[in-house]
Copies of this chain bind each other. A is one copy, B any other.
Amino acid sequence: MNERRERVDKEKDFSAWFDYILQEAQLVDSRYGVKGFVVYRPNAMRIVKKIYSLLERELEATGHQQVLFPLVIPLSAMRKESEHIRGFEDQVFIISEASGGELDEKLVLRPTSETAVYPMCSLWIRSYQDLPLKMYQSVAVYRRETRATRPLLRAREFLWVETHDLFATEEEAKAQVMEDLEIAKRVYEKLGIAYIVAEREPFDRFPGADNSYAYDALLPNGHVLQVGTTHLLGQHFTKAYDVTFLDKRGERRVPYSTCFGPGVSRILAALIATHGDDRGLVLPFGMAQYDVVVIPIPYRGGEPEVEEKAKRLGQALGRDGYAVYVDISEETPGSKYYRWELKGIPVRLEVGKEEVREGTVTVFRRDTGTRVKVRDSELKETMKRLKKEIPERLRERAWENLGKRLVKAGSREDVLRQASEGMLILAPFCGERECAEEIKSQTGGYEVRGRDVNDESTPSQPCAWCGRPAKRRVYLARAF
């Protein structure tokens, strides 16, 4: 017990709490010694693998095939799409030498892979029969963030999935964007993460995109964390890299393309931040190391009975498909409670003297911190109910918290007051970059995150900030 640190209050100081949880639950270690690079420990990698698996299953089910492109991109190839390189050139790592001496050509660590992918597409795509081409890869990408780096939240090496999809027509590309939004929705729902989807303002798009959509999860401190983006790239990249195809009438045409980049490191961060509490992680079923741990509580003369019963219950749950662990190690029950709560195991079963005598078992829910005693014969039903209830409750609570933060602003006074209260603001907006910059500087960092995709109407009210006619309703938020 002595080695445990002082607990940190999540509500009062999210940032300190987050660092505390990463270290205390042995998720990532930020002491690696290269700025922006961290070590993922087993407790993080187990969750990372599950997030990858959720994403990859969705992508396979929607016709994407897995590929792997090289880590390195020739700087010259990256320069072909002029907007794109302007967007990334100030944040790439460059390999210009090897032990043998200078390289003939400078290589860039992928900040994203469009400029690796499209030159190959120009070799692979010949006719309309080669389209659509829907690919994804699960890799790390490298961006030399100039702002303060933070483990998982803002790193120079981060894990993601990137799709690269090419289509014969613009309509198909636009439909893909909608499919991406649905995939993201299904994955975030499974994780119980609340988020908003915004169509970025034209001045804030991905370098080389016709349109950009961002998924912003809400952190407990009211900041938003971008956990993924989808970009309608149109013909920018296909033109720049000479990708063409012969259509059914034998005419040469240029495909349209899209990309989708759900960020695995940041999804992990959002999962921790959304559900965690002062005792550690709180995870839905299927995401933690185990769904259930069973803890025998030995009493004088009764060790074999509790252990036998704990094992029996564990086996029964295992047969029902739960990932279950019966912890018969020599630690005290209190130590075991502490450790498994820290790791966010959804359900803990306690088996002591009373439970053996009465034919009952005590069921502890990690999400609510509540205990109920149920008859052994009722355990199966109880678990079935919790498997449904816990993820639902986590998700509902996350959306409730988002709902509480979300307010509408009609005037500059509204915006200033709501920003000072850390709210997530929905407001009519004129669409001008200058206005967005003024908002940012005068609110201490609130950004125009983009159009509310659920609201396509043009607001009748004027821009909440400048009073000029408004083009659309947008979210204003402080980004992490």
Decide yes or no whether A196 CB sits under 8 A from chain B: no
CA distance A33 to B115 in the complex (A): 12
Query: Which stretch in A88-96, A389-397, A432-440 binds the other chain?
Result: A88-96
Residues of B near A33 (CB, < 8 A) are: 74, 77, 119
Question: Would A34 and B94 be within 8 Å (CB), given that A40-B68, A45-B68, A67-B42 are in contact?
Answer: no
Stretch from A139-147, A273-281, A406-414 that touches the partner: A139-147
Complex CA–CA separation, A72 to B142 (angstroms): 10
Interface flags for A360-392 (1: CB within 8 Å of B; 0: not) read 000000000000000000000000000000000
Residues on B with beta carbons closer than 8 Å to the beta carbon of A97: 94, 96
Known: A34-B107, A95-B95. A123 touches B29 (CB 8 A): yes
- Taken together as a complex, chains A and B put the C-alpha atoms of A107 and B156 apart, in Å, by 13
User: Do B72 and A37 have beta carbons less than 8 Å apart?
Assistant: yes
B146 touches A34 (CB 8 A): no
1/0 contact trace for A258-285 toward B, CB 8 Å? 0000000000000000000000000000
Asked if A1 is at the interface of the complex by the 8 Å CB criterion, the answer is no
Chain B residue contacts of A45, Cβ below 8 A: 65-68
> For window 58-105 of chain A, which residues contact chain B by CB distance below 8 Å?
65-72, 74, 77, 89-100, 105
Q: Is the CB of B29 within 8 A of A140?
A: no
Q: Would A157 and B39 be within 8 Å (CB), given that A91-B99, A94-B97, A109-B95 are in contact?
A: no
The answer, yes or no, to whether A31 is at the interface (CB within 8 Å) is yes
Contacting pair A144 B68 (CB below 8 A): no
Contact: A67 with B39, CB < 8 Å? yes
Which residues on B sit within 8 Å (CB–CB) of A91?
98-99
Q: Does A175 contact B (CB under 8 A)?
A: no
Contact of A146 among B38, B96, B100, B107 (CB under 8 A): B100
A468 at the interface (CB under 8 A from B): no
Task: Answer whether residue A135 sits at the interface, using C-beta atoms and an 8 A cutoff.
Answer: yes
Q: Give the Cβ gap from A372 to chain B, nearest Cβ, in Å.
A: 33
Write the residues of chain A forming the contact surface with B, with a CB cutoff of 8 angstroms: 29, 31-34, 37-42, 45-46, 48-49, 65-72, 74, 77, 89-100, 105, 107, 109, 116, 119-120, 123-124, 135, 140, 142, 144, 146, 157, 159
A-B contact pairs, 9 of them (CB 8 A): A29-B120, A45-B68, A71-B71, A71-B142, A72-B93, A72-B157, A92-B98, A94-B97, A95-B95
